[in-house]
Chains A and B, each alone.
Chain A
Amino acid sequence: MKSILEYLENSAERFPDKTAFADEEQECTFSVLKQDAQVIGSRLLEHGVIRRPVPVLMEKGVQTIKIMMGIVYAGGFYVMLDGTHPVRRLEQILDTLQAHRMIVSSENMEIARSLHFTGSLITPDELLQGEADEKGLKAIRDAQCDMDPLYVLFTSGSTGVPKGVVVSHRSVIDFMECFTDIFGIDSGDVIGNQAPWDFDVSVKDIYAGLKTGATVQIIPKTLFSFPMLLLDFLEERGVTNLTWAVSALCIVSTLNGLSYKVPASLKRVMFSGETMPIRHLNYWRKYLPEAMFVNLYGPTEITCNCTYYILDREFSPGEMLPIGRAFPNERVFLLDEDGREVTQPEQKGEICVSGTALALGYYNSPEQTQKAFVQNPLNLSHMELIYRTGDLGIYNSRGELCFASRKDSQIKHMGHRIELGEIECALEKVEGLVRGTCFFDQERNKIVCCYQGNLNRKQICAELGRLLPEYMIPNVFRQVETMPVTKNGKIDKKALQENYRTYKK
């Protein structure tokens, strides 16, 4: 197997009339998805997208999955963009990609036209016309290799420019072959898709559906603010499986949504993205005592997840939830600062991963790639790339791997992976602001910004809103007379944090 399109084609063969994807307004069967994707792919042939990125500025939905598969049929790889992101950020991404075509929904056309993008804009309707060019598509497929890119996902970069993680067909196939079997996902499942499609969590929903023939129900984003509407949706659509960001599960528990309704068919809840707070986990388990709960761990760079832990015992708040064991065909281990393997319990080491799950690096960014994807220092005999996650892990007394903390200033906030450095870069661009820095208040789940300069919160937010997505904008602003500095002349973050803590009390 060398292309994920084989998943789609097998399911179209086995379940031609079964619903593959459904959103609020429409749905499509596996056979229609395949046919339409082939038509789209055929129209894209003349645009010459073989092994080239094709940005897609569309909301997730039935039409969007057709476009994504169409791009793959044409030999290209898709890059999902979020139209609610600031223009500046979208432009940074497009500059990195150097794409010559972009597919844009009619709702997003105005945004697309306002971007400094010199390539041509294509609408989905233009592509969904005519017949499939079977000969043309076959030629593309014959020339394809499984190490060709399938998608690029952008994630926060500490230098102020988002990094594009390039993932191949091979990595997704490698992961999917284990993922659905281990957790028993099959054609009888109904997958409730929460994750936005420019997020790696969504890869599990999309390809688990395509592989097994399970239906993917795309949950409208707006429902996540309104628990009754959300739970009605899950119930009505018969959702059996949630593979959600931790923050999305926490929304439901925070708003006490399950007190209103527990969807009857729900049997599996999997979560990832950040550490699951035990209090919220226990809330879910109380309402769904029979369901399987799985903690999944892994950054985008190793394709979805590299470890899993199926909950087999009770946890009380304060206990550490294991991230468990490695998926088959992946090696997950800890390295200390001198590059030696850590095997003793309760000792910290950086979580490192090797295997075909590894991404192909960051798009058009060899320097960043070489920093994170390196030769395994334990292997001096032959080439073996590992990805250094920057996460610190420890083994507990049972030998289960647990996440401990970060090595750098990356944080997880509302399900998003954020480099504080990227926010600080944006702060530097705010006119009138002398100096600014930020840190994360884990306890209250807030990004705190300390700044020096004659500006108020409103002015800073307005400026940051042009540079950063909403979830990266600090929640608390504190103006300081002068920035405390360390001996080396750097901003003394520790002093600011201590000051903030005393002030809070």
Chain B
Amino acid sequence: MEILEEICPDVDFETEKALVDDKILSSFSILSIISEINDAFEVTLTPAEIIPANFNSAEALWDMICRLKG
């Protein structure tokens, strides 16, 4: 969550559920999120994971990270 707030201070990540579909996240911020996730959780997101469904909410992002770590 801290990562997300650092990248986009204006977005309410608690409530938003369509971050990508409603164009709340710019392509620029999505890329920053991917690179921060790779660094912070020591994972490497593959093209198959980088799809809108996984980036629509903080929850979806977290689920994806857990899957990769698990």
Contacts and interface: CB of A to CB of B under 8 A. Distances in A.
B50 A259 contact: no
B50 A251 contact: no
A225 B47 contact: no
Contacts of B6: 457
B46 A225 contact: no
A227 B49 CA distance: 10
A228 B50 contact: yes
Interface in B22-70: 23, 26-28, 30-32, 34-35, 44-48, 50-52, 55
B47 A259 contact: yes
Given A221-B27, A461-B9, A462-B9, 12 more contacts: A224-B27, A225-B20, A228-B51, A229-B51, A251-B31, A256-B47, A260-B47, A260-B48, A470-B26, A470-B28, A471-B28, A475-B32
B55 to A, nearest CB: 8
Contact of A457 (B9, B26, B46): B9
B10 interface: yes
B47 to A, nearest CB: 4
A226 interface: yes
A115 interface: no
Main secondary structure of the interface of B (DSSP, over half): loop
Contacts of A465: 10
Nearest to B44: A256
A110 B34 CA distance: 32
A259 B46 contact: yes
Interface of B: 6, 9-10, 20, 23, 26-28, 30-32, 34-35, 44-48, 50-52, 55
Contacts of B50: 225-228, 255
Given A255-B34, A458-B9, A462-B9, A227 B27 contact: no
A465 B9 CA distance: 11
A57 to B, nearest CB: 17
7 contacts: A225-B20, A228-B48, A229-B51, A231-B47, A255-B47, A255-B50, A260-B48
Which 7 pairs from chain A and chain B are nearest by CB?
A: A225-B30, A260-B47, A227-B47, A225-B27, A458-B9, A228-B47, A224-B27
A299 interface: no
Contacts of B31: 225, 251, 254
A160 interface: no
A443 to B, nearest CB: 14
A222 interface: yes
A462 B46 contact: no
Interface in A466-504: 470-471, 475
Contacts of A229: 51-52
- From B35, B46, B50, name the one whose CB has the most chain A CB atoms within 10 angstroms: B50
Nearest to A260: B47
B36 to A, nearest CB: 11
Contacts of A227: 47, 50
A222 B23 contact: yes
Interface string A254-268: 111101100000000
Contacts of B52: 226, 229
A414 interface: yes
A226 B23 CA distance: 13
A226 B51 contact: yes
A224 B31 CA distance: 9
Contacts of A475: 32
Given A255-B34, A457-B9, A462-B9, A222 B27 contact: yes
